[in-house]
């Protein structure tokens, strides 16, 4: 729990003919992370993908293309009754899908301009004119004119063109306008007469607008019928083949990945050589199961640690369920190295305590729990918000306890609510700011000290020099605290001051020896790290003041319930009051999580944690659409 799971590096040597069976077995077991084998050091050849890789890849590309051309439908996981490659070869609808796609594209290209043209001509239906019969000797124009201007423009038109023609009709697109079809001599223009009016195109059709629209409607209906038949056939193919293609795509992708894995190995022409990482507790069962299924045609041995020095070793974290959200947070930031302490379990205490000190209200603790629970029910399990809301819920209990100690219940004291004082609070966060600051500084002081202790444990095995440097920092912290308390604050006498000088001097000398001059330069930064925890008090006080402001401005008055109007006002104010406190609680949740995480990651982690590890990624079989037809082998 405090350190990642112990790992072993193993080497497997077996018959090359058994490699496909070995890979298939190891994938089902999901216990080993395979690595590239250094074939040069063994004096043998680099491995190549399995022989079936090309056939698998070819079918995978085909099945993916078919699946992407089909319409997605619900899929029920089912086992495959034959090899995926053989099943994929039997699906041969590529040509038909290409033809359907081509026809649908043609229909789309036909119907879009046709619909656009129909919309243009539909506006001219009220002009009962056969456009094919219009005299070629005249120029024809169509305008949409406001009814209020029609007389003025008609008179102006008649004045300029004495022998021209004018035909009016309703504009179906704009009821305030009329359409005017005008004819003028070809060598004259009427643009000035109709200035400010919308000009429409004169359609090139050999019929009236109504007849042309009817003809286009018939053509559009034919296209729609063709599209309907194509869509029906595509839906038919999708219902039949999409689930099959999804299952085969998954199975072929897994097989292709497995076949490529063989290229990580080395081989001598008759034997393969593989290596990888496995959990120490799984090794004996993994070896036993592999021998059993491969008829003892394989040799599996651990590589001694001095030969690999854990280089490339992956990390597996294992924490109790309450600490899992914090494990997610650690993995999100940086995965621990396999030889350092996993801080997830410590965050189970540090973040909720900082969170509780900031929120510090028993009423808000209940609201926090309810809000986090409701959000958790709506988010995807295992995701970021799922883990964050679980952290919020874990922070509710210490928040409730600190709320009682601080005597805060939605910004009220218990005496204000009950009318009687039952206990004296530990600290009133607004009234005793000095005490709150001292409390938060103490929290930071012990947090930093604990970080240095973990740093000593982390470094002891790898570098005694760095471990002693961490010890020197502890002496500087303890001695420095005594010096501040004695000579700056005057809180203690020389019985504390003199030992503090000695402890600080020893610690500073240790830093000079083990970290050089830069260690001494960074001593003021230690005080800054501890004082960073003062933000807990600052943010917490802001929340208290806001809660009290809500109570003074929005608290509903029961006396108003005497009248109907007062009841309505009471209900509205009560709703606003509840919403304001809920928003304040949510803001407190968010700020508390951010500041708690920041203090843990920057101040606490900085004293012992390096990170930079890689997650354990074993060869495994993760299926979504397919089921295994046979019972999978287990490591017994």
Considering the entire predicted model, what is its pTM? Answer: 0.72
Residue-range domains of the chain with CATH: 125-202 (3.30.70.2750), 321-476+515-607 (no CATH)
Question: Cα separation of 480 and 497, whole Å?
Answer: 10
- Pairing relationship of beta strands 78-79 and 626-627 according to DSSP bridges: parallel
Query: Within a 10 A sphere around the Cβ of 420, how many other Cβ atoms?
Result: 7
The answer to whether the beta carbons of residues 184 and 143 sit under 8 Å apart is no
The rounded distance, in Å, linking the Cα atoms of 472 and 467 is 9
- Give me Rg for the CA atoms of the chain: 40
- How far is residue 19's CA from residue 539's CA, in Å, rounded to a whole number? 61
H helix or E strand, kind and range, residue 442: helix 433-460
Q: How confident is the model at residue 46 (pLDDT cuts 50, 70, 90)?
A: confident
Could you tell me what percentage of the chain is helix, strand and coil, using 3-state DSSP and rounding each to the nearest 5?
Answer: 60, 10, 30
Percent of the chain with pLDDT over 90: 40
Given its phi and psi angles, is residue 310 left (phi above 0), alpha (psi -120 to 50 degrees) or beta? left
Give me the mean pLDDT over the 534-557 stretch: 85
Maximum pairwise Cα distance, the chain: 122
Pairing of strands 7-15, 165-170: unpaired
How far is residue 455 from each of residues 6, 427, 531, 573, measured CA to CA in Å? 20, 33, 20, 54
Report pLDDT for 596: 81
Q: Which of 14-23, 164-173, 214-223 has the lowest mean pLDDT?
A: 164-173
Residue-level pLDDT at 218: 94
Per-residue pLDDT band for 398 (boundaries 50, 70, 90) equals very high
What pLDDT score was predicted for residue 572? 87
Which pairs from 507-511 meet CB under 8 Å and 24+ separation? 507/472, 507/473, 507/474, 507/475, 507/476, 507/477, 507/478, 507/479, 508/472, 508/476, 509/472, 510/468, 510/469, 510/471, 510/472, 510/475, 511/469, 511/472, 511/473, 511/476
Residue 252 near residue 82, CB atoms below 8 Å? no
CB atoms within 10 A of CB 159: 9
Q: What mean pLDDT, rounded, does the chain reach?
A: 88
Structure tokens at 104: 């649908």
Judged against a pLDDT cut of 90, whether residue 163 lies above it is answered with no
| Mean pLDDT score, 391-407 | 92
Any idea which of 124-128, 256-260, 492-496 has the lowest mean pLDDT? 492-496
Question: Does the pLDDT value for residue 9 go beyond 70?
Answer: yes
Compute the average pLDDT of residues 303-319: 89
Residue 112 β-bridge partners = none
Would you place residue 631 in the very low, low, confident or very high pLDDT band (cuts 50, 70, 90)? very low
Nearest by Cα to 145 from 175, 177, 192: 177
In 3D space, the residue among 452, 426, 453, 424 whose CA is nearest the CA of residue 439 turns out to be 426
């Amino acid at each position: 729990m405090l350190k990642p799971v112990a790992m072993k590096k193993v080497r497997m040597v077996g018959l090359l003919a058994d490699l496909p069976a070995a890979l298939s077995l190891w994938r089902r077991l999901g216990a080993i992370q395979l690595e590239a084998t250094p074939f040069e050091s063994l004096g043998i050849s680099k491995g190549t993908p399995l022989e079936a890789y090309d056939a698998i890849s070819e079918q995978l590309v085909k099945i993916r293309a078919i699946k992407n051309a089909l319409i997605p439908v619900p899929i029920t996981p089912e086992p495959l009754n034959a090899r995926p490659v053989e099943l994929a070869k039997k699906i041969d609808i590529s040509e038909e899908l290409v033809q359907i796609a081509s026809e649908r594209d043609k229909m789309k290209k036909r119907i879009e301009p046709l619909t656009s043209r129909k919309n243009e001509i539909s506006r001219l239906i009220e002009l009962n004119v056969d456009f094919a019969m219009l005299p070629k000797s005249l120029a024809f124009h169509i305008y949409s004119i406001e009814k209020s201007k029609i007389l003025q423009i008609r008179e102006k038109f008649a004045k300029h063109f004495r022998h021209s023609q004018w035909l009016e009709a309703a504009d179906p697109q704009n009821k305030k306008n009329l359409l005017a079809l005008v004819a003028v001599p070809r060598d004259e223009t009427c643009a000035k007469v109709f200035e400010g009016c919308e000009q429409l195109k004169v359609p090139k059709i050999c019929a009236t607008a109504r007849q042309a629209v009817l003809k286009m409607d018939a053509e559009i209906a034919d296209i729609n019928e063709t599209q309907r038949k194509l869509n029906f056939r595509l839906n038919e193919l999708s219902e039949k083949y999409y689930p099959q293609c999804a299952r085969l795509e998954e199975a072929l992708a897994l097989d292709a990945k497995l076949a490529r894995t063989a290229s990580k190995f080395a081989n001598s022409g008759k034997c393969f050589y593989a290596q990888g990482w496995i959990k120490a507790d799984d090794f004996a069962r993994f070896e036993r199961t592999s021998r059993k299924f491969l008829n003892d045609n394989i040799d599996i041995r651990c590589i001694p640690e001095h030969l690999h020095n854990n280089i490339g070793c992956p990390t597996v974290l294992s924490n109790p369920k309450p600490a899992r959200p914090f494990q997610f947070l650690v993995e999100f930031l940086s995965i621990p190295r396999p030889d350092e302490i996993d801080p997830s379990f410590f965050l189970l205490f540090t973040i909720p305590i900082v969170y509780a000190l900031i929120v510090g209200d028993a009423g808000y603790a209940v609201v926090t729990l309810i809000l986090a629970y409701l959000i958790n029910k709506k988010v995807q399990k295992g995701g970021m918000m799922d883990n964050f809301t679980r952290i919020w819920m874990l922070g509710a209990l210490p928040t409730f306890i600190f709320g009682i100690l601080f005597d805060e219940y939605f910004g009220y004291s218990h005496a204000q609510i009950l009318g009687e004082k039952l206990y004296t609070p530990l600290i009133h966060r607004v009234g005793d700011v000095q005490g709150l600051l001292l409390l938060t500084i103490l929290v930071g002081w012990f947090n930093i000290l604990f970080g240095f202790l973990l740093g000593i444990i982390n470094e002891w095995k790898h570098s005694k020099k760095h471990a002693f440097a961490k010890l020197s920092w502890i002496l500087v912290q303890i001695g420095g605290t005594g010096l501040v308390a004695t000579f700056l604050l005057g809180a203690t006498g020389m019985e504390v001051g003199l030992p503090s000088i000695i402890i600080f001097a020893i610690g500073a000398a240790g830093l000079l020896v083990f970290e050089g001059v830069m260690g001494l330069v960074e001593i003021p930064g230690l005080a800054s790290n501890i004082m960073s925890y003062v933000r807990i008090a600052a943010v917490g006080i802001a929340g208290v003041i806001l809660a009290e402001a809500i109570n003074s401005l929005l608290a509903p008055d029961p006396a108003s319930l005497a009248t109907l109007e007062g009841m309505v006002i009471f209900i509205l104010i009560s709703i606003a009051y509840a919403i304001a406190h809920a928003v304040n609680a949510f803001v407190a949740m968010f700020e508390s999580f951010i500041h708690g995480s920041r203090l843990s990651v920057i101040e606490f982690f900085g004293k012992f944690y390096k990170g930079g590890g890689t997650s354990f990624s074993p060869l495994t079989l993760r299926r979504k659409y397919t089921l295994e037809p046979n019972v999978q082998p287990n490591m017994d």
